[in-house]
Structure 1
Amino acid sequence: MALVGDAYEYFDPRFRDLTVPIAEVEVLFDGCRWAEGPVWFDDGGYLVWSDIPNNRMLRWVPDMGVGVFRADSNFANGNTRDREGRLVSCEHGARRVTRTEPDGTITVIADRYKGGRLNSPNDVVVKSDGTIWFTDPTYGILSDYEGHRAEPEQAGCFVFRVDPATGEIAVVADDFVKPNGLAFSPDESKLYISDTGLSHDPDGPHHIRVFDVGDDNALSGGEVFVEVAPGVPDGFRVDVQGNLWSSAQDGVRVFDAEGRPLGRIKMPQMVANLTFGGPKRNRLFIASTHTLCAVYVGVSGAQRP
Structure 2
Amino acid sequence: MIKAESDKIWNLLSNEAEIKRVATGFIFTEGPIWNPSEHHLLFSDVPANICRKLTLDGQISEVRNPSQKSNGLTYDKNLNLLACEHLSSSLVLIDQDGKRDILASSFEGKELNSPNDLCVRQDGSIYFTDPPYGRMPGFGKEREQDLGFQGVFRLTPSQELQLAVEPDAYRTPNGLCFSPDESLLYINDSSQALIDVYNVNPDGGLSGRRCFAKNIGNGQLEQGIPDGMKCDEHGNIWVSGPGGIWIFDDQGELLGIIETPENVGNFHWGGTDWRTLFIAANTSIYTLRTKTLPHAEPFMKVL
Contact 2:180 2:295 in 1 (8 A): yes
Q: TM-score, length-normalised on structure 1?
A: 0.93
Residue aligning to 2:276: 283
Cα drift, residue 249 of structure 1: 2.5
Matched AA of 1:157 = Q
Residue aligning to 2:2: 8
CA distance in 2, matches of 1:36, 1:110: 21
Residue aligning to 1:36: 30
Matched AA of 1:226 = A
Q: TM-score, length-normalised on structure 2?
A: 0.93
Structure 1 position 222 matched with structure 2 position 209: yes
CA distance in 1, matches of 2:98, 2:14: 38
Identity of aligned residues (%): 34
CA distance in 1, matches of 2:209, 2:33: 26
CA distance in 1, matches of 2:206, 2:9: 30
Residue aligning to 2:220: none
The equivalent position to 1:271 in structure 2, one of 264, 267, 276, is 264
Contact 1:233 1:246 in 2 (8 A): yes
Q: Deviating runs (4+, > 2 A) in structure 1? A: 20-23
The equivalent position to 1:169 in structure 2, one of 161, 168, 173, is 161
Structure 1 position 96 matched with structure 2 position 90: yes
The equivalent position to 1:262 in structure 2, one of 255, 275, 280, is 255
Contact 1:121 1:134 in 2 (8 A): yes
Matched AA of 1:215 = P
SS of the residue corresponding to residue 267 of structure 2 reads strand
Contact 1:269 1:289 in 2 (8 A): yes
CA distance in 1, matches of 2:143, 2:253: 40
The equivalent position to 1:211 in structure 2, one of 195, 198, 202, is 198
Cα drift, residue 155 of structure 1: 1.9
CA distance in 1, matches of 2:244, 2:196: 20
Cα drift, residue 20 of structure 1: 2.3
For 1:2-81, what aligned pairs fall within 5 Å after superposition? 7-81=1-75
Matched AA of 2:194 = H
Contact 2:50 2:64 in 1 (8 A): yes
CA distance in 2, matches of 1:279, 1:243: 22
Cα drift, residue 40 of structure 1: 0.6
Contact 2:84 2:91 in 1 (8 A): yes
Bigger mean CA offset, 60-69 vs 207-216: 60-69
Contact 1:187 1:304 in 2 (8 A): no
For 1:150-165, what aligned pairs fall within 5 Å after superposition? 150-165=143-158
CA distance in 2, matches of 1:291, 1:304: 25
The equivalent position to 1:237 in structure 2, one of 209, 214, 230, is 230
Cα drift, residue 64 of structure 1: 4.2
- Count of residues paired in the alignment: 290
Please give the per-residue CA displacement for 1:168-191, whole angstroms capped at 9, x wherever unaligned: 101011211111000000000000
CA distance in 2, matches of 1:33, 1:222: 36
Bigger mean CA offset, 185-194 vs 24-33: 24-33
Cα drift, residue 23 of structure 1: 2.6
Contact 1:206 1:231 in 2 (8 A): no
Structure 1 position 84 matched with structure 2 position 78: yes
Contact 1:181 1:194 in 2 (8 A): yes
In structure 1, list runs of 5 or more residues that go unmatched.
Answer: 1-6, 198-204
In structure 2, list runs of 5 or more residues that go unmatched.
Answer: 218-222, 299-303
Contact 2:224 2:244 in 1 (8 A): no
The equivalent position to 2:242 in structure 1, one of 242, 249, 264, is 249
SS of the residue corresponding to residue 176 of structure 1 reads coil
CA distance in 1, matches of 2:26, 2:194: 26
Cα drift, residue 219 of structure 1: 0.6
